A and B are shown apart, each in its own frame.
Chain A
């Protein structure tokens, strides 16, 4: 039996597969399809200090090999999350990662503080949502702002902190280093790439927000490249995501340097997708006689060195 355990900032996951924030709610809907305990972790949809109504509809549009979304971080707020969603997730033998969103640094810190005494394993700070006017990406495109908010969040956090990075930057490594300097424990990337679709029949924007975040297999090469670049630039463990649909896709991210992976848009194409990805990694390991998943992490780098 191969070993699929990985560790993120001292938290051991039974396998490297988790869900990408915003695609999985707080797990309840997918829990009707399979045992969430088959996943390394569940990452919740972004939670703010108060309920957020989100953006007008239409909020999504399909694109070739992916989709655009501009949900706008609709969420019921931390009170409901703690009362309803967290107890639901705690029924399962999986790690719980809460994605935190806010408009101001204070908003983020307030939620982080509320979570400090709760049975939550890691926090993921969403400083990369492209679909909200305040907060979100505003912190994720300026290295100084990113370092500052990371440092501030760390003051309140009792759990290890994952900073989720935006791909909508010139140099992802600059952002990765800023988060590392601010005290981040883990990095996750990529959030969605800002895109646009125009409905030529109606001659309008396909989604009400005009722009949306692009995700799905079409963005995967960009994501793999950014994970690899980031892995070269910082010492922090990385959660890689962007278009993962299969175990093979996940292995690509592991080889690029990710310690864990998230499955997002694929959940919409197949409600069993995250579980199937975990199973696919095990199959790959059997096929290539990989005894420990650790051997795969950053594996591509070692191969290049070997060739030299």
Chain B
């Protein structure tokens, strides 16, 4: 019984999604297509899902970013690296299995019609697929993807923009980092979107500051609730945050995407 309270918009849903397809697209990296009732229709680029283990001994959901959505078919894909027992369990799911998910979570990337860099590093590359899809035809899309060695999602990215690759071992594209690739090709942009490991985000943040470019970084931190209640996944903010009233922002709720000038790395 609620005392005359406003009905909140419930964009987040918990669903028992059906696995449509799963494939190992690079060693230890899997793409899982899920059929959802609502989530695929609601999700925006840069948002993520909480994936729940079927094993009761693993209490916490695994936050995984959405790689791609297919609204017509009501499907979405997540691409993840097997990093422990939880993701190992997910990697064994087959078509027809069900998976408990919560989403879409977080804010996602703002869509702006500007000449853009979409910078992804490692397992930070997947969200760039849906972002590139969204920006394709609206803005000049330059995707810079940094891999350790094995490439993945290159076809999906090439369809939606100009793809520049960097590999640590030099096996493809520029040998080195995404920043090395930007320099090698003398690329410029009016807007930057980035997702990847912290050292990469830091380099992107510095680049954006030096060049005076508007820049959005997708942050990562270990999470428990995934919805903004537990305050586990905070990142440091440059100013006192409006919700927490300290120099902290919740990655799961206020992020994961932040303006590069509002967070400390």
- Residues of A near any B CB (own CB < 8 A): 22-25, 28-33, 35, 37, 45, 51-54, 57-62, 64-67, 69, 71, 74, 76-77, 80, 91-93, 216-217, 245, 265-272
Contacts and interface: CB of A to CB of B under 8 A. Distances in A.
Contacts of B228: 25, 29
B225 A268 contact: yes
Contacts of A74: 231, 234, 244, 246, 248
Interface string B1-21: 111110010101010000000
Given A29-B229, A52-B246, A37 B1 contact: yes
B222 A58 contact: yes
Contact of A269 (B4, B52, B223, B253): B52
B222 A91 contact: no
Q: Which 7 residue pairs are nearest across A and B when measured between Cβ atoms?
A: A76-B245, A25-B229, A29-B229, A53-B246, A60-B232, A51-B245, A58-B222
Contacts of A22: 230
Contacts of A54: 231, 234, 246, 248
The winner among A28, A59, A64, A91 for most chain B CB atoms within 10 A is A59
Interface in B13-59: 14, 52, 56-59
Interface string B219-239: 001111111111111110000
B228 to A, nearest CB: 5
Nearest to A62: B60
Contacts of A32: 8, 10, 12, 227
A144 B132 CA distance: 63
9 contacts: A30-B229, A32-B12, A52-B246, A64-B58, A92-B2, A266-B59, A267-B225, A267-B229, A269-B60
Contacts of A35: 1-2
Nearest to A37: B1
Interface of B is mostly: loop
Contacts of A266: 59
Interface of A is mostly: loop
Given A35-B1, A272-B14, A71 B232 contact: yes
B125 to A, nearest CB: 22
B102 interface: yes
Interface of B: 1-5, 8, 10, 12, 14, 52, 56-61, 102, 221-235, 243-248, 253
Nearest to B52: A269
Given A29-B225, A60-B232, A62-B58, A91 B243 contact: no
A239 B226 CA distance: 27
Nearest to B4: A91
Given A74-B246, A74-B248, A91 B3 contact: yes
Contacts of A69: 224, 230, 232
Contacts of B60: 60, 62, 67, 268-269
B222 A65 contact: no
A53 B59 CA distance: 26
B3 A76 contact: no
B5 A91 contact: yes
Contact of B229 (A23, A64, A80, A272): A23
B59 A268 contact: yes
Contacts of A61: 222
B15 to A, nearest CB: 12
A9 B248 CA distance: 37
Contact of A91 (B2, B230, B235): B2
Contacts of A268: 59-61, 224-226, 230
A31 B222 contact: no
Contacts of A64: 57-58
Given A32-B12, A57-B222, A58-B221, A216 B234 contact: no
B227 A271 contact: yes
Contact of B230 (A71, A80, A270): A71
